[in-house]
A and B are shown apart, each in its own frame.
Chain A
Amino acid sequence: MNFASLEFGVFFLVVLVIRLFYRQSGSRVFVSILVLLSLVFYGWEEPSYVFLILLSTVIDFFAALAIEKYRSSPRTRRAIVTISCVANLGLLGFFKYTGFFVQNLSTVLPLEPGIATALRGIVLPIGISFYTFQSMSYTIDVYRGEKPTRSFLDFIFYISFFPQLVAGPIVRAHNFLYQIHRVRSIRLVVWLEGFRLMILGFFLKLVVADNIGYALSGINLQSVGIWDYAVQPDGPSTLAWYAIILFPAQIFCDFAGYTNIARGLAYLLGFRLPINFNAPYLAGSFSEFWHRWHITLSTWLRDYLYIPLGGNRISKGRTLVNVMAVMLLGGLWHGAGWTFIVWGAIHGTGLVVERAAGIARVTERWLAARLGWFLVVQAVVLFAWIFFRSSRFAEAGVLITNAARLDFPHIEIADYPNLQAALIVIWAVPLLHLRALLREAGGRPFRETRIEQAIVSGFLLIATLSFYGEGGEFIYFQF
């Protein structure tokens, strides 16, 4: 189910009534009802996908218990955690990467056309990348010494909790399981914060991301947008630059919007989810970018991939190779396509250069260097998004060529669907980042009082109800 849909509005009212009925969250009945609702939420698009999430949940629940049982036998423990990882990655690999693998294989090996078409047509179950990572991290944590839960209800609730189920944040078991039976009465201050986050999230998604999305990609299957014009050979640079500026704003607002709605919903239900975004376009280095963008994924990759590969304790050369490998896999996690791998490679190269050249030492000392590197980092981030958004290298190549030509003929904004609206709403992105900048710098004006927060939220709510775009799916649903 999509947060930005009418059916979610009805679903949300049901959830809210249940929460008001069970004022003291934490009871088994309350948790059971939320599990049931979460499975309805997940199965709404395709009921059969519920079996997949149940399969992943059952595997890791029993794998964790088995690891605990054989705690004294390292070989058995290792075998069990391996089985769990293979099962989870197998599920993910089959649904997400089979088509990609077959497509690439068919370029070198002739395949039966019927089989190749069938394999390429495997549909990616929504949210599978998120919940398999979450489920797998639990088993690995237990393998590393954490205590497993003995309640299947708690574990399935942790995996299926609907606010974060389909697009994160990726929650760790030790940050969530303890919250389940903690009695949380309804507190006005928490609810206000929950509603504030939800309103901000809906504003980012419906007003900013969807209006930009309409301008970039068109409204339906038969319409086109700025992106389609920008990737036409010999298209004007003006449109290419609009596309280059608009997409980063769209994807940030789309994903950060989702996370804010998820966190707000969790607050209303008495739970806390981690933050996932912190003004990423303020990042002064590649390393900082990944501390600000999709934070729960980057920490997951750090804890379950980078550190097991040796972390910072190995030689500098090996470390750099590992950084690159992690970023390539991070790119591949986003989508089964070479353009995503290149996106990861660009970020990986940035991180490698930054480490190898010791840029942090220079930028710490010199303000001009800091500003210069900030501009380089942000320019590379924008450049990398071109590959992320493009379906083929040729598309990215044409867009880059058009942008590099630097011819800017006058274009009539009104001739392009919704471009006018997109150019209005995009200002929300620099404003949000300015607010974050002032807050980080300890500036007084953006430390809002409750009254100020209420006024801003009221404004955002009215803006959302008045200026919403066409409620498309969240971009990260496809990952």
Chain B
Amino acid sequence: MTVLATARWYDRTHPLLRLERTEYQAGLPDPSADTYLDSRGTSLAYNAFTHDWNHVVDAARKADVLFLGNSRAVYGFRPQYFQPWLDRIGLRGFNMAFFGGTGQLPLWLIRHYDLHPKMVVINDDRFLLLGKTEWEQALDKESTWGAFKDYYGSAAAWLVQKRLHRIVPPLRAYTGRRRLVVYRSIGTGAPIFVFGESEGKPMTRLPSAQADQAVKAWIDQALARGRRTSAEFLREMDRRGILVVLTVIQDNGDFAGYYMSRRLNERNGRIYVHAMLPNLMGQAGSHMDAESSKRLMEDLMPKILALPRVQALAGKQQETRP
């Protein structure tokens, strides 16, 4: 295997030795002034946003609409597909979703940097109900100096590895699972996949209208546990006059998040926009590919723009324009 992998690395075109390209051979340039390294298996975006390394928060400050959520929101809410819709009403959007993300870090960021978007669009896949992730807890314990070393050390290590593996084949990449490598646009939050772009397997499941009894019971417990985090997030949005629009991005696996979100909306009366389409494609049935993201945005964004409160926002926006 070693010999084959080495031979493949040196002669990537030979048909007998066709092995998957590694992240080091993706041909993408280094992160530039417009992009930063978001993820290398572990998410660096938490660190980047908490400390505003590379001024990643600037665009979020200027944005009218923040798109929030977990990794499915990173893949689903792609700025190249939502921004043309927002342009129609003169708003600027920014994808501030995090891998493994919950509402905790966005809430902290909105308070800490005093962000005032007009609207947040949330992939409410348990987003409002969960507590701090392990990454957020780790950041809490870390000093600024430690966070600085972690962030810039990881980014520098990536650059060194890319150069090293022009000379020495990355044989380990051919055993076991590969690591996600994602850059993000500083200006729009758009993901740029070095390795980990969806490979296009069908996301076949759509949720049925009602959850079964076991899921309902589980949701009752989760809602009871997550009531405080949900209320805190929504209260802060209300205090700042931020319109909250909830949706749930389709997933091939556990749909409990969808039913929970619906139940939560019934309870708190927030705007929920349903956008689930048949025949979307995604990696292992989740994390949709670019074409599916485009279809999703073409379905979701007109529904959002048609909301009276969003129309009012657009009106305000036009009024305040010179």
Contact = CB atoms under 8 A, between A and B. Distances in A.
Interface in B116-156: 133-135, 138, 143, 145-146, 149, 153, 156
Given A462-B168, A466-B172, A222 B156 contact: no
Interface string B285-313: 00000000000000000000000000000
Nearest to A9: B160
Interface stretch (B173-181, B209-217, B261-269): B173-181
A7 B145 CA distance: 14
A118 interface: no
Given A47-B145, A466-B169, A222 B176 contact: no
A414 interface: yes
A211 B172 contact: yes
A467 B176 contact: no
A421 B42 contact: no
A418 B179 CA distance: 11
A291 to B, nearest CB: 35
Contacts of B169: 466
Given A47-B145, A221-B134, A222-B134, A421 B156 contact: no
A124 to B, nearest CB: 13
A423 B135 CA distance: 29
B164 interface: yes
A349 interface: no
B41 A6 contact: no
Interface residues of A, number: 27
Q: Which of A7, A418, A467 has the most CB of B within 10 A?
A: A467
A215 B156 CA distance: 25
Contacts, number: 53
Nearest to A219: B41
B170 interface: yes
B100 interface: yes
Q: Which of B149, B168, B177, B179 has the most CB of A within 10 A?
A: B177
Contact of B170 (A221, A466, A469): A466
B3 to A, nearest CB: 13
Contacts of A470: 41
Interface of B: 41-42, 100, 133-135, 138, 143, 145-146, 149, 153, 156-157, 160, 164, 168-172, 175-177, 179
User: What 10 A-B pairs have minimum CB-CB distances, sorted nearest first?
Assistant: A221-B134, A220-B42, A421-B175, A418-B176, A465-B168, A466-B171, A467-B172, A420-B175, A6-B157, A417-B177
24 contacts: A5-B153, A7-B153, A46-B143, A46-B146, A211-B172, A219-B42, A219-B179, A220-B42, A221-B42, A222-B134, A417-B176, A417-B177, A420-B175, A420-B176, A421-B176, A424-B175, A465-B164, A465-B168, A466-B169, A466-B170, A466-B171, A466-B172, A468-B172, A470-B41
Interface of A: 5-7, 44-47, 211, 215, 219-222, 414, 417-421, 424, 462, 465-470
